Structure 1
């Protein structure tokens, strides 16, 4: 895909994510008689390879006052988390990843997120997400399930990656929505 198309689709994806009801209802409220609440927390990721570009999204969320957590790959393929403080604070890591250089928060930090934005190769019409097979996000999803907290799970994809069916294994978890450059796809579980 040409760079200008990738950038345009990344910008469209950023607009779509910011329109999510989950972010609007988690957003801080202030006004007469309403104290300012804590900013929402979104766990996201820095895209690599052929994934939809998340650069514009990360910056837009941060500019809107959202606390953005990014993954830090651990030696056992589990994910730790750190706060996103801008693109200049991302450093190269294993497998071509870029990670925040700030303090690590622990793998459990993701359980405090209001929304978790997930990478994927595809999602089917029931919300079953196909990942890359490393198991990192399977651990994240299991951790979120154990926490008992209602966290919205959203996979970021291109339009043609929302498909009729994907292969499933017993440990796979469904997501609540997929965001593509053209819109939000909701799934009922």
Structure 2
């Protein structure tokens, strides 16, 4: 994929390509990402995981979140604030969610505050793409996850979930952009250059 494009053009291109992925291929990809992540010791050992409830053509997180929760992991999910920042609340099974802004499901549990993400042992975030060398993620443009990632410690594994073809070279970088340490794709987990050892 050509990546010497501005972010807006790149977002449109990736969203267009995502819309062409067939349902069977999507389910297989979602399962591969989930199983690969759940096999990682640093995922299995994480007592508190910050994740997100996927929507639309994003790689699905519902099964991953449920599996982590059933395993005894505390999972926190974002609650979008009016200023675009992310508060966090605990996931306590599928019945603990209700539609929030833009129809995105979010927990109804007590909000824990924007700084709660600082205590997470693993952070899983959405992305449209990740730069394989810098770790910079291409988001939707709202900046919510860049603010959240800025609060995460440097040694905490941060993972963006992607479809094949979305690990890129040359994503344009802006001063507020926060890198991730890993990209999880159906073909495996890839460390970016910001990764030391997890």
Establish whether TM, by shorter chain, passes 0.5.
yes
TM-score, with structure 1 as normaliser: 0.86
Q: Secondary structure at 2:24's aligned position in 1?
A: helix
* Consecutive unaligned residues in structure 1, runs of 5 or more: 28-39
* Consecutive unaligned residues in structure 2, runs of 5 or more: 1-20
Work out whether residues 71 and 99 of structure 1, in 8 Å CA contact, stay in contact via their aligned partners in 2.
Answer: yes
Aligned-residue offset at 1:96: 2.5
Work out whether residues 178 and 185 of structure 1, in 8 Å CA contact, stay in contact via their aligned partners in 2.
Answer: yes
Work out whether residues 81 and 104 of structure 1, in 8 Å CA contact, stay in contact via their aligned partners in 2.
Answer: yes
Work out whether residues 156 and 179 of structure 1, in 8 Å CA contact, stay in contact via their aligned partners in 2.
Answer: yes
Aligned-residue offset at 1:141: 1.4
Summarize deviations over 1:104-154 as a string: whole Å, max 9, x none.
11111111000100100100111111111101111111222xxx5631111
Does 1:176 find its partner at 2:181?
Answer: yes
Structure 2 CA distance for aligned equivalents of residues 188 and 182 of structure 1:
19
TM-score, with structure 2 as normaliser: 0.82
Paired position in structure 1 for 2:81: 74
Give 1:150's match in structure 2, choosing from 152, 155, 166. 155
Paired position in structure 1 for 2:92: 85
Q: Name the Cα RMSD after superposition.
A: 1.5
